[in-house]
Each structure stands twice: as structure tokens, then as C-alpha cells.
Amino acid sequence: MTPPAWRSYGAAVLATGLALGLNLWLVPLIEANVFPLFLAAVTVATWHGGLGPGLASTVLGTLAVALFFLPPAMSLAVTTPAAVARLALFVLSALLMTALATRLHRARESAETGRRAAQDRAAASAAGEARLRETIELAPDGILVADRDGRIVQANSQVTRMFGYEHDELVGRPVEVLVPARVRTAHAGHRHEYQASPRARPMGVGLDLAGVRKDGTEVPVEISLSPIGVGPDQRIVSVIRDTTERKRAEAAIRTLNDALQLRVAELRALNQELEAFSYSVSHDLRAPLRAIDGFSQALLEDCADRLDDAGRDHLRRVRVAAQRMGELIDDLLGLSRVTRREMRSERVDLTGLAASIVAGLRRNEPGRQVATVIADGLWAEGDPHLLRLALENLLGNAWKFTARRPAARIELGLRRVDGPPTFFVADNGAGFDMAHAGKLFGAFQRLHAMDEFPGTGIGLATVQRIVHRHGGRIWCEAVPGQGATFYFTLLGGGDGDRREDHPAGGRQP
């Protein structure tokens, strides 16, 4: 805008110097008539730089006049009255010129300022309009502007892409060109109703709206309307969203859901079948066993005199086998109940649970001497009945497989390495070869001979199911002849520190 001060003053000095030079050069022609050029310099300096440079030029001009053009020559002294009068006249004229030119300068400056402001405004407005256009163009939805008569005024590229038209093909045509023929008349009617009370709202709430493309195919859409302005210049802006993808996704979800429903129904049927099967096993399979056992016993009692020792032994074996099958059936049912049972979830005191289980084991076999170490403060989030069953099996196994150990030791504890808290039940019993560990958790899998360690082979399968139902994992480590350790995790639980409750060999009940 305003030139910097050094330039304004420089211009003042330059203009005055130029006037001086010209005057010196023209002295032979113009004689003492040197004032006009200096006044011109003052005018130029003021017009260009304003009041300050104008005054500067005035002072310089005055000095130059006094020095060069008033007697005595080459002296600033002004002695003659005529010279004083001339100099005074010059100063007065120069100041007048300065005053006048200052006003000129200000007028020019303000004009300049106004012009620049106008320019800036225009640029800003152009930028704003460009941004708006860009926003409309790049909007993810189609935006269509129509006038009061329903003629298309503007359509963004989403609209042209969605409907397959060029922009120019749409402008000026009625919006009904984008409405399927079957609802075109109705649409025009709705448009007139909307015109009567325009407000921002979605169009055709609850209806499946469709638009029609240039090629005649339909596209499912969702439209919201809003009026801009009032009176004859009012515009109606429609935001149009292509819902093809969403409809496809919804259809896919519905299909998936239907499939899922079907699977749920199948599973439910399967579960019911399993339930019926278990019930039938529980009831029908045991009846013949009862007959086998009962009539064998009857034979032993009623016909004892007609049987020799071998015959009686055979019958005893028949009874043992029948009873064992009864146990197997019961355990199998127990296993299936673990799966079918509805889970409760509460905070379960594993330390207390283990202590009561161990106490029960001691009561059953008071002759056994087993050191048991149960960590303090163990707890888990889960079903108390199932967790008890799991611990009963694990501790019962440890108890059973340490039967031949003179210094038997069983430990329940918690190990925290990376990952979730891991409980473990360790014993120094018979152990097993890890080569067979894979079979361990299968139902009816046994790694020891029946006469060595009795059992149905269903306990660990039960434990595994319980652990899995609690979102956990179970695994084991074992060395034949040295013992086995079973590790398991549960979704919630942990804490605990060691407590040697029977360090001396455990004689407590």
C-alpha cells in the first residue's frame, strides 16, 4: 500500500535534486524563475509520499533556492529584502502545494485501499464459491437442486453417476425424469404438496424409494428434502443416497441370519435328541444290567448247592462286569450332564473346595499317608458344582495314582508365567508316558491296567469339558514313575500363595 518511509523520503530528495539540477542547467534560459520546478518537486514528493516527504522537499527546495539562486550566491544567508520576500513567497507556495498534494495523496491512498479490499472480497467470495461447489461435487451423496417448478437447476457428479446422465442433460428438465414412470404422476403431486409447506424432512418415510436411470433401470434410494430461500427464487435441495449396497448388505445379513436360525434349530433338535438319548441310556440300559446282576445273585443264593467253585466264580465275574457297566453308564451320563448343564457363574473358593475334597479322600482311606499342599486364597469365576467336579477328579486321580508311593505328595497351586493364571495339580505318583498324553482327555481312555488302578477313564474327559466350558485350557506333564502335573486355566480367577498344610506327611483327617 503506502511505500516505505525511506522510499518516500528518497523520492522527495530525488525530486528536489532533479529540480535543482534542471534549474542550474536552465538558469541561462529561465534566469531567476526557478520556483516552478521546485514546487513541482514538492508536489511530486507530497503526492507520492504524503505530508512528511512534502515538507522535506519544501525544506530542501528552500535551502537550494537560498544557496544557489538568491544573492549572495553560494551562501545560505539571505540579505536583501527582495530576496527575503522571494524566499518567503517560495516557502508559502511550497507549503500550500504540500497541503494540497497531501489531500490528493490521502485520497489516492484511500482509493487504493478500497480497491484492494474490493479485490480481496471478490477473491474470497470466489474461493468460497469454489469450495462450496467442490463440497457439493465431492459430497458422498447425490445433491440435486430444483426450482419451484421442479426443474433441475444443479446436480452434482454423484447424481449424474447414479442416474447415468451428463450434467447438461439434467439441467432444466423436471425432476420427474429421475422418478420411475409408475410413480411419476404421484411424485408431481407430492412435490406440489411439499411446495405448499416446505421444510427439511426425509422423503417417503418407511417407503422403499426408487429412482430411474437413463437406461431405464431402477436404483433404490433414500432422499431427504430441504428448502433454501423463500418466494419465487426458492430452491429445493434433495440429498439422494444410493442404497443398493446397503440393501445388498441387509439381504446378506438376512440370509446369514436365516441360515443361523436354521443351524440353531438343528442344534436344538440335536440337543434334544442327545437329551432323549441320555435319558434312554440312563433308564433302559441299566434295566438289563440289573436283571443280569440280580438273577446272578439269585442263582448264587438259590442254587449254590448245585454250583461248584468255578461256577460260583463265573457268576461273581458276571456280577462284577454288570456292576462295572453300570458305573460306566453313570459316568457317561455324568459327562453328558457336564455338557448339558446350564452354567452358573460366581466367585468360587478353590482353596476351600480342594481342602474339603482332600478331607473326604482322607476319610475314605484313613490308612493312606499323603502330604497335601494347597495354595492359599485360590479362587475362580465359574460354576461351583462343575468346578468341584473338576477338582474332585483331578485330586482324586492324584490320590489314586500315588497309592503306591510311600511318601505321597499332592499339590494344588497357581503358576503365573506369561498369559492367564494357570492352576496346577501335581502329584509324585505313577505318572505316564507323554507319548500317550494325546489320548488322556478322551472318554474311556485309560493308561493303566484296571487291576493296577481302577477307574472308568471318564474323569479327565469330564475335567476337560468343564475347563472348556469355562473358556480355559488343560494340559499335562508327566514322567513315568515320577508323577504327573495337570495344568488348567479358567477365564477368571487366580491369586493365592503357598500353604504347606500337612508338611510332615499329612495325618490329619
Partner 1 sequence: MEIDEKIILLVEDNPDDEALTRRALRKANVANRVVVARDGVDALDYLFATGAHAGRDARDVPQLVLLDLKLPRVDGLEVLRRIRTDSRTALLPVVILTSSNEERDRIQGYTLGANSYVRKPVDFAQFAEAVQHLGLYWLVLNEGPPAGPDR
Give whichever of 173 and 324 is closer to partner 1, judged by the CB atom: 324
Residue 318 contacts partner 1 per CB under 8 A: no
Give whichever of 134 and 302 is closer to partner 1, judged by the CB atom: 302
Rg of the Cα trace of the chain? 54
Report whether 382 contacts 348 (CB < 8 A): yes
Q: Nearest 5 degrees, angle CA 402-CA 408-CA 409? A: 105
Number of residues lying near partner 1 (CB under 8 A)? 24
CA 70 – CA 91 distance, rounded (Å): 14
Give whichever of 91 and 321 is closer to partner 1, judged by the CB atom: 321
Residue 271 contacts partner 1 per CB under 8 A: no
CA atoms in the 13 A half-sphere facing the CB of 331: 19
CA 167 – CA 139 distance, rounded (Å): 16
Residue 326 contacts partner 1 per CB under 8 A: yes
Nearest C-alpha neighbor of 92 from the set 26, 44, 42: 42
Q: How far is the CB of 295 from partner 1 (least distance, A)?
A: 7
Which of 79, 119, 323, 482 binds partner 1 (CB under 8 A)? It is 323
C-alpha cell at 188: 408431481
Which of 73, 216, 283, 449 binds partner 1 (CB under 8 A)? It is 283
CA atoms in the 13 A half-sphere facing the CB of 263: 6
Residue 316 contacts partner 1 per CB under 8 A: no
CA 441 – CA 468 distance, rounded (Å): 12
CA 398 – CA 424 distance, rounded (Å): 11
Q: Nearest 5 degrees, angle CA 218-CA 219-CA 225? A: 120
Which of 21, 36, 189, 288 binds partner 1 (CB under 8 A)? It is 288
Q: How far is the CB of 385 from partner 1 (least distance, A)?
A: 11
Residues β-bridged to residue 201: 225
Site mask, partner 1, residues 128-167, x = CB under 8 A?
----------------------------------------
CA 445 – CA 335 distance, rounded (Å): 14
Which of 108, 290, 317, 416 binds partner 1 (CB under 8 A)? It is 290
Give whichever of 254 and 290 is closer to partner 1, judged by the CB atom: 290
Which of 36, 229, 294, 503 binds partner 1 (CB under 8 A)? It is 294
CA 201 – CA 239 distance, rounded (Å): 11
Residue 289 contacts partner 1 per CB under 8 A: yes
Give whichever of 185 and 364 is closer to partner 1, judged by the CB atom: 364
**What DSSP string runs through 397-435?**
HHHHHTTT-TTEEEEEEEE-SSSS-EEEEEE-S----GG
Residue 325 contacts partner 1 per CB under 8 A: yes
Residue 388 contacts partner 1 per CB under 8 A: no
Q: Quick count: other Cβ atoms within 10 Å of Cβ 413?
A: 19
Which of 31, 284, 418, 451 binds partner 1 (CB under 8 A)? It is 284
Q: How far is the CB of 461 from partner 1 (least distance, A)?
A: 20
Give whichever of 275 and 500 is closer to partner 1, judged by the CB atom: 275
Q: How far is the CB of 274 from partner 1 (least distance, A)?
A: 13
In this structure, the strands spanning 408-415 and 370-374 are parallel
Q: How far is the CB of 326 from partner 1 (least distance, A)?
A: 3
Q: How far is the CB of 462 from partner 1 (least distance, A)?
A: 16
Which residue shows C-alpha cell 462286569?
A: 321
Give whichever of 296 and 489 is closer to partner 1, judged by the CB atom: 296
For partner 1, the binding residues (CB under 8 A) are: 278-279, 282-284, 286-291, 293-298, 319, 322-323, 325-326, 330, 333
